[in-house]
Structures are given as structure tokens and as C-alpha cells.
């Protein structure tokens, strides 16, 4: 077995549709963990441009994604710049237009919802949309074309528009053990040595590690 390399761009030989995101990101406000990958049928290299939207430096918000996440084709992360000021008497974004600006701080055109934070081992389905300010817990699954407007607990499956909880993946006791084990933080050799137990959901074997 070849030792997994988190520093590769393309983990699969002759396949440019899947890349390890950490190794192509240039924006310091996008932080991606080891082995998290993005798949795109048209090629995965334009993730920053095509998938992280309305992410303007003036807002100082971040996209933070943990390790071993699977992000499907067409997933979109919509940041604060996509919002409008709902408490105003008008939702028109006056400050972004020079003729209406009158020296108002441009970020005042929208409500700032903050960072998007994705845990570890999260699977985000095809064309899902994650809105600014959302936190998604470890091990969660986001359904195809779901629109996630609220936080998602660890190891929870959500889907729909807006996304709602469908079910928990495991019992509370198993989820608690997984959150303590944090297998994604193990070194590569330890993960590889216990891969069968991880894949078989053998929680008893993992507790002995």
C-alpha cells in the first residue's frame, strides 16, 4: 500500500476532477484540512473562484474546513457579501455604489453573519449551498442540493430547502466516543493501521487503540 500523501494536488493518477483542496488554495482566509477533497466534473482547480462566493476581504470572514471532508461537485459557500441589510428600510445595497456611498463603510451594505466552519469527516452532497455563519459538526452529511441556513450537529444527516435534520447517524454514546477519539487527528500510520475498524464502524476496536 502506498503511503497517503496529503501534499498531493491530485490524489488519483490521471484524474484532474478530484483534488486535495489545501494544496490549491491561495486565499489565507480559506483554511482547509489534510485530505479534504473537492470533486468537479469540469476540473477541480477553480474552487476558490467558482465555489467560494461573495467572499470579500473587507468582511474578514473565513471558510474553515476540517480534515477528511468530501465536497461534491457544485457545492457553494455563500458569504456575507451575498446578504443585504434587512434591518434597513430598504434592502438596496447603497454603500457599494459610489454615487450613493457618501463615505459610508461599504460593508454596511449587508448583514455580517461571520465565518463558515465545517468540521472533520463531513460529506457535502452535490450542489449543496452553505450560507455564511453556519457551523457544521464533525461527521455530518449534507444532502444533495440542500440549502444549509443553520448549524448542523455532529454526525447528523440534513437535507432539503432549507436543510432540516433527517436523522442522527449513530447513537449518542457512539457519537460521544467518536468526538473523543478524533481519529482524523491521528498520524497517517495509525489511521492506516485501523482503517478496517473505521470502515466497518467497529467502535469497540477503535476504543482499544
Tell me, rounded to whole angstroms, the distance of Cα 154 from its chain centroid.
13
In angstroms, the CA 201 to CA 41 distance is: 30
CA angle 69/70/76 to nearest 5° reads: 100
The C-alpha torsion from 25 through 31 and 37 to 41, rounded to 10°, is -50
- The separation between the first and the last C-alpha atoms of the chain, rounded to the nearest angstrom, is 21
User: Active-site residue among 39, 55, 60, 84?
Assistant: 84
55 part of the active site: no
- Active-site annotation, residues: 84
Amino acid at each position: 500500500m502506498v503511503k497517503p500523501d496529503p501534499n498531493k494536488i491530485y490524489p488519483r493518477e490521471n484524474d484532474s476532477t478530484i483534488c486535495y483542496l489545501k494544496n490549491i488554495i491561495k486565499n489565507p482566509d480559506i483554511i482547509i484540512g489534510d485530505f479534504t477533497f473537492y470533486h468537479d466534473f469540469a476540473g477541480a482547480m477553480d474552487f476558490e473562484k467558482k465555489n467560494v462566493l461573495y467572499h470579500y476581504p473587507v468582511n474578514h470572514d473565513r471558510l474553515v474546513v476540517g480534515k477528511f471532508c468530501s465536497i461534491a461537485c457544485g457545492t457553494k459557500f455563500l458569504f456575507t457579501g451575498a446578504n443585504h441589510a434587512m434591518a434597513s428600510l430598504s434592502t438596496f445595497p447603497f454603500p457599494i455604489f459610489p454615487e450613493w456611498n457618501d463615505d459610508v463603510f461599504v460593508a454596511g451594505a449587508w448583514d455580517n453573519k461571520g465565518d463558515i466552519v465545517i468540521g472533520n469527516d463531513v460529506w457535502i452532497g452535490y450542489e449543496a449551498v452553505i450560507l455564511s455563519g453556519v457551523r457544521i459538526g464533525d461527521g455530518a452529511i449534507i444532502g444533495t442540493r440542500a440549502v444549509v441556513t443553520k448549524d448542523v450537529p455532529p454526525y447528523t444527516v440534513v437535507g432539503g430547502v432549507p436543510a432540516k435534520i433527517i436523522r442522527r447517524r449513530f447513537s449518542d454514546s457512539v457519537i460521544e466516543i467518536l468526538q473523543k477519539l478524533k481519529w482524523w487527528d491521528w498520524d497517517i500510520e495509525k489511521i492506516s493501521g485501523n482503517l478496517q475498524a473505521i470502515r466497518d464502524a467497529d467502535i469497540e476496536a477503535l476504543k482499544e487503540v
